Structure 1
Amino acid sequence: MLKKISAAALAAAAIAMTFTGAAHAETNPSCSSGVTQMGATKYIKSGSTTIASVKQFKGCGKNWGYIYVWDAWRASHRTYSIFAGVQVRGAEFPSGYNRAENKQELWSYGTDTLTKCTKGYGSIQAASYGGGVETEERC
């Protein structure tokens, strides 16, 4: 009986750590001291299929937008463009806007907007799809 309780306790602890642990920040090539995710991850979808994850980070005195294209979608799309940026409240276009072709992930350029209300922005354009999302606003 003790072994069953111990195994159940270990399983419960592992599950709790999975859902309550700190989010793992992706490696930002322009901010060697590290970045921290701001707010929740948003997802670009086509119907019920998830295409990409979009996040906003802060670090090195800047805000950063980030997009990560999911493997399954990437495997069936050879040619596409991805975009990442930081949307500042009241601005018409994202700041730090960056673009890449056929890459799996992309960071925006860092923006000096930590004192402003911002959202991470990401989008994908392909022959068969075009769309994007913004994360929740963080002030």
Structure 2
Amino acid sequence: MKKALLIIAAALASLLAPGVAHAETPPGCASARQIGSTAYVKFADGQTAASVKQFAGCGKNWGYVFVWADWAARHDLFHVTAAVTTDDGKNHGKVIGRVDQREVWSNATSTINQCTRALGVVSLGEDGWSKYTERRC
């Protein structure tokens, strides 16, 4: 009984901890997996605002941006943009989220046979901070 309560308490603590990762699945492709490592959008004062990831599966790529709860709690009226960028500098599948939307997926892109990076942008007013994931071919 005591062990079960400790496990439940640890699980609840991990759910409430800022910046804790959660499972992500791109819209329309449950078999897609993250490719490359996670990148982090850093705000002007050095605080981490968001995680940026690239996913591949079902013959497509997606960019994904997740704004951390602790950062979002201190900032209002932000916008998040997710896209997949190719070596020619074009942004594919670009999606700009609603005001204060913390999780944004790009649209699925037909870039699976190209070198790509996910792009995440967090904007506050006219200021914006961006980060690319590593290039994946």
Q: TM-score, normalised by structure 2?
A: 0.78
Match for 1:34 among 31, 36, 52?
31
Q: Does the 8 Å CA contact 1:25/1:36 hold for their aligned counterparts?
A: no
Which of 58, 66, 87 is the matching residue for 1:89? 87
Q: Which runs of no fewer than 5 residues in structure 1 stay unpaired?
A: 1-22
Q: Higher Cα Rg: structure 1 or 2?
A: 1
Superposed CA RMSD in Å reads: 1.7
Distance 1:72 1:97 in 2: 25
Deviations 1:1-44 (A, max 9, x none): xxxxxxxxxxxxxxxxxxxxxx975022232x321111010001
Matching of residues 42-53 of structure 1 within 5 Å = 42-46=39-43, 47-53=45-51
Q: Which runs of 4+ in 1 moved over 6 A?
A: none
Q: Is the alpha carbon distance of 1:25 and 1:38 closer, same or farther for their aligned partners in structure 2, counting shifts above 3 Å?
A: farther
How far 1:128 sits from its partner (Å)?
7.8
Question: Does 1:78 pair with 2:86?
Answer: no
Distance, in Å, in 2 between the alignment partners of 1:25 and 1:88 is 26
Q: Aligned residue for 2:136? A: 138
Q: Quick one: distance in 1 between partners of 2:80 and 2:132?
A: 14
Over residues 93-116 of structure 1, what are the superposed CA-to-partner deviations in whole Å (9 max), with x where a residue is unaligned? 310000112111010001001110
Match of 1:106 among 84, 104, 108: 104
1:56 pairs with one of 54, 57, 67: 54
Count, aligned residues:
115
Further displaced range: 52-61 or 122-131: 122-131
Give the secondary-structure state (helix, strand or coil) at the position aligned to 2:71.
helix
Distance in 2, Cα, partners of 1:88 & 1:25: 26
How far 1:117 sits from its partner (Å)? 0.3
TM-score in terms of structure 1 length = 0.76
